[in-house]
Amino acid sequence: MTGWRENDVFFQLFRQSADPALLISQGIIRSGNEAAAALTGITGEKLSSLPLTSLAPDILPNGTQGEDYAEQHLQNAIQSGSDRFEWAVRDRTGRIIAVEVLLTRLLMNGEEILHATIRDTESEKQAEQKILTYARDLEEKNSELDHLSSSLIRLNQELDERVRERTAEVMRLLQIKSDLITQIGHDLRTPLTPIMALLPDAVSRVSDPDLHECLTIVYRNAERLKRVVTMVLAYSRLEGVPNAVNPDGVIAKDLFDQAILDSSHEIQHKGLIVENHIPGDTRIFMANTHAETVAMNLISNAVKYTGAGGTITMRILSTGGRTSLCVQDTGVGLTPEECKRVFDEFYRADNSRHDRESCGLGLAIVSRIISLYGGKITVESEGKDKGTRFCITL
């Protein structure tokens, strides 16, 4: 194979090929490139004089004779001009690896030469196996995800159905409660009306001091019962859409001045200082009756729980871009736990904050009215005997 090695362009390309390549004549390796030497670990003249079959094990992985199998494909390539077959060779570490051999017949200087390109298929098969394994794992994961997705959808549907059922049940029970409260209120109010009408006349006609005191106590408790019934009925009616809103708004300062006037007797009795600093142009946009109820309950609550000589102040506060109307007192104050529950229906923090005249619904009514208009009422107190501040934001 001398004479063309140094100058032949083909031979230069042959030597520089990235794939292992051999030139074979009559079954003997005549030359190999650097990639072939790297694969087999055989270099120089040693590789150039070996039979091709010496690179393979005696028995191939498929069970056939390595020498016979190679000879058959060499003959096929000589006769047909090319051939391709799966084979196996020992690499430089002695490990048997799977390869694919592509044989091409060439004519060089009048001599038939077979050009053999050897491609390592072991790594490809391992990569393919890894890809197949990954694909199977991915398919299993997808199947699991599909199953989980179906389970979640089913669970979500079941939860939605349960929520609808429970919501319907809660609404039914709330309606029953509302109807029951309304019915009880009317049933109590009906006999109270003639009692309240007749008791004052009966008290005035009694001359016996003991009987007079007894009837006075009965009348006072009948009045209290009437107030409780009125409050309960008012609270039960605070459902759904609010009453028609005053389009011009209710002037807040006038509203609270009237509430102060309504509580003036107790304010004077306790010697309270009441300051209304609400600007005259501040308006509250809600139904007149609701606005009056809110103002009346906030002022009466402050008056009730502020000790003699205390102060009650009304003002507008702006924080975080929102404007609030606040009523602050220097009264008995609230603990953090009481602040959380002060708007609950019929809640009584302790005996020191509630007298027998209170039914525990005033602040609950205020909270319900404010929520009807999408607003919020908050309460702040630094603790017992440190006063309380209620703020409304609409």
**What CATH code is carried by the domain that includes residue 22?**
3.30.450.20
Pair 256, 384 in one domain: yes
Residues 312 and 365 in one domain: yes
Q: How confident is the model at residue 186 (pLDDT cuts 50, 70, 90)?
A: confident
User: Are residues 280 and 383 both part of a single domain?
Assistant: yes
Q: How many other CB atoms are there within 10 angstroms of residue 93's CB atom?
A: 7
Query: Is pLDDT above 80 for 63?
Result: no
The overall pTM is greater than 0.85: no
Which residues, at least 6 apart from 274, have a Cβ–Cβ distance to it below 8 Å?
Answer: 260, 267, 311, 312, 313
The verdict on 315 and 213 lying in the same domain is no
**Containing H/E element for 162?**
helix 122-205
Q: pLDDT (tens digit, 9 = 90+) per residue, 329-344?
A: 999 999 999 998 888 8
Which candidate, 197, 180, 376, places its Cα nearest to that of 294? 376
Q: Which amino acid is at 15?
A: R
Q: Which of 379, 256, 385 is nearest to 330 (CA)?
A: 385
Query: Helix 122-205 crosses helix 209-236 at what angle (to 10 degrees)?
Result: 150
pLDDT in tens, 116-173: 999 988 777 778 888 888 999 999 999 999 989 999 999 999 999 999 999 999 888 8
Neighbours of 100 (CB within 10 A): 14
pLDDT tens readout for residues 343-356: 887 776 554 444 54
Percent of the chain at pLDDT exceeding 90: 36
User: Which of helix, strand or coil describes residue 2?
Assistant: coil
Number of structural domains the chain divides into: 3
How far is it, in rounded angstroms, from Cα 201 to Cα 79? Answer: 138
Q: Which of 89, 104, 120 lies at the terminal end of a domain, its last residue?
A: 120
**For residue 232, is pLDDT > 80?**
no
Per-residue pLDDT at 178 exceeds 80: no
Q: What is the CATH number of the domain that holds 204?
A: 1.10.287
Give a yes or no: residue 4 inside a domain: no
Among the candidates 120, 139, 164, a domain finishes at 120
pLDDT of residue 1: 46
Range with the poorest average pLDDT among 79-88, 177-186, 254-263, 286-295: 177-186
E-assigned strand segments in 146-257: 250-251
Domain finish residue from 236, 268, 302? 236
Asked if the structure places residue 2 within a domain, the reply is no
380 occurs within a structural domain: yes
Q: What is the rounded (10 degree) CA torsion for 68, 71, 72, 74? A: 160
Buried b (16+ CB within 10 A) or exposed e, 164-188: eeeeeeeeeeeeeeeeebeeebeee
- Domain, as residue range, for 348: 250-393
